[in-house]
A = this chain, B = another copy of it.
Amino acid sequence: MNEEPSRGFSLERIAFFSDAVFAIAITLLVIDLRVPELVEDASDATLQAALEALLPRVFGYLLSFFVIGLYWLAHWRRFHYIVRSNEGFAAINLLLLGCIAFIPFPTALLGEHGDRAVPVVIYVLSLSAAGIVGTVSWLYAARTGLVIDPLPAPEIRVAGLRGLIVPAVMLSSLVVIPFLGPHVAELLWILILPVHLVFTRLATRFLGVVD
């Protein structure tokens, strides 16, 4: 009896393996929020001060959670249209997962030394790399015929462009560091959310993409 290799199962494994890596990366972020250790008879004010000193790390946790969440949503959205896999796609997807799994480190670095330029640059480069590799994986899938057929062309362009919003905003923010310092750069990252919303609205109106 002839049996076909289970190609659909292969694609499913790539998706679930990715889900597991995303889930672990997103959960490991919290490990960096270490509980302050105090002497036995420390006052409540001491504890409160120690907790407030954790706030930059909480900010880092929230930010990285938000970005990894966006990336997972993008990954999930891309897989609506991907219906086949090949070795090249599996390899590029692994590269993407390597970038995602790395994020807890620059997040911890930012939480500890977010007032200096070098950690901010490392953080921006790490998160941007993940966004760019994600877009590359989508373009590769579209080029090598792994997506549903026919895929409306605007869909490809929009999905590619949306994946680049985080890298675009973050990399641009680096420009201000020499003049205004790392904190202003970090503030600029808040733009990721409105840019996303505006972009989605424009894409829906002009390209007819229903998200």
Contact = CB atoms under 8 A, between A and B. Distances in A.
B17 A17 contact: no
A113 B38 contact: yes
A19 B13 contact: yes
Q: What is the size category of the interface that chain A forms with chain B?
A: 35 or more
Q: Report which residue of A5, A14, A116 has the largest number of chain B beta carbons within 10 angstroms of its beta carbon.
A: A5
A156 interface: no
A171 interface: no
Contacts of A77: 87
A44 B5 CA distance: 51
29 contacts: A5-B80, A6-B79, A9-B12, A13-B16, A13-B19, A16-B16, A17-B22, A17-B23, A17-B72, A20-B24, A21-B27, A23-B24, A26-B97, A26-B101, A28-B30, A29-B101, A30-B105, A32-B35, A35-B113, A37-B112, A44-B116, A44-B117, A44-B118, A48-B118, A51-B122, A69-B94, A73-B87, A73-B90, A87-B211
